[in-house]
């Protein structure tokens, strides 16, 4: 991780590898769960994957596009064009420093429409770079776990209710999924949703929660660590997408 590395460490890393993972999350309401859920979950997954694959992990960008949730205190939502500029400059800067294989791990669905064209344009401008995007909740293995259990994956329900995201007592039972207009304003969204959950079960049985949960926090890849040491580290994570295929750019 950058937090545990000096510029000297990174320079040494770049002599051996040019891969980088950048997590883009959000700061938005998640009902009874953390406002930073969309950053915490992909960071936990990326940390595990980077440890296994010997890849450097950049500090997360913890803000995303969530204008529909701004009536909930704590939601901080930059404009789409602002996020596009910031991500573009981060990618451009990383390429200029020698990172030519970059994976953006997106933790928030509202960011997708911004991140994809930004990465396409950056790829057009830098044909020597290989850029990719990863959405953990879209992996077939993740959907399969939910489908086998018969539980719907909705915003701020059981599918995001983990030890690392839980900050309030979470209700038991199930909430009926409301009908949400595609262009609902922030005040209308709060009226429709109430507590912020999109519906479905608030909690999952412990065995399902264990299968679905991101890996526990552990030491991530430091640029100063010997590559062989990283490659020998064992991956103990139970999360279906902990070792991100796209990381092997």
Q: What is the mean pLDDT of residues 50-65?
A: 95
CATH architecture of the domain formed by 2-220: 3-Layer(aba) Sandwich (3.40)
pLDDT tier at 131, thresholds 50, 70, 90: very high
pLDDT of amino acid 10: 96
pLDDT of amino acid 216: 67
Which residues face 103 on adjacent strands?
Answer: 21, 132
Q: What is the rounded distance in angstroms from the CA atom of residue 133 to the CA atom of residue 203?
A: 29
Residues 6+ apart with CB under 8 A from 89: none
Residues 6+ apart with CB under 8 A from 30: 37, 38, 155, 156, 160, 165, 196
What is the average pLDDT value for the chain, to the nearest integer?
88
């Amino acid at each position: 991780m950058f937090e545990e590395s000096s510029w000297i460490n990174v320079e040494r890393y770049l002599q051996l590898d040019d891969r980088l993972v950048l997590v883009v999350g959000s700061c938005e309401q998640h009902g009874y769960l953390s406002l930073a859920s969309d950053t915490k979950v992909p960071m936990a997954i990326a940390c595990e994957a980077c440890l296994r694959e010997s890849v450097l992990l950049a500090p997360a960008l913890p803000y995303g596009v969530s204008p529909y949730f701004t009536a909930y205190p704590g939601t901080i939502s930059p404009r789409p064009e602002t996020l596009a500029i910031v991500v573009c400059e981060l990618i451009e800067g990383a390429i200029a420093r020698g990172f030519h294989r970059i994976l953006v791990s997106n933790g928030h669905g509202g960011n997708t429409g911004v991140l994809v064209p930004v990465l396409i344009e950056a790829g057009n401008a830098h044909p020597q770079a290989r850029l990719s995007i990863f959405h953990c909740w879209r992996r077939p293995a993740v959907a399969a776990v939910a489908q086998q259990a018969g539980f719907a994956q909705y915003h701020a329900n059981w599918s995001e209710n983990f030890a690392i995201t839980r900050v309030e007592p979470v209700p038991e039972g199930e909430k009926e999924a409301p009908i949400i207009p595609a262009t609902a304003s922030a005040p209308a969204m709060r009226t429709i949703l109430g507590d912020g959950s999109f519906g479905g079960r608030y909690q999952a049985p412990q065995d399902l929660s264990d299968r679905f949960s991101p890996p526990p926090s552990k030491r991530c890849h430091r640029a100063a660590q010997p590559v062989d040491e990283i490659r020998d580290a064992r991956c103990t994570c139970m999360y279906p997408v902990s070792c991100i295929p796209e990381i092997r750019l």
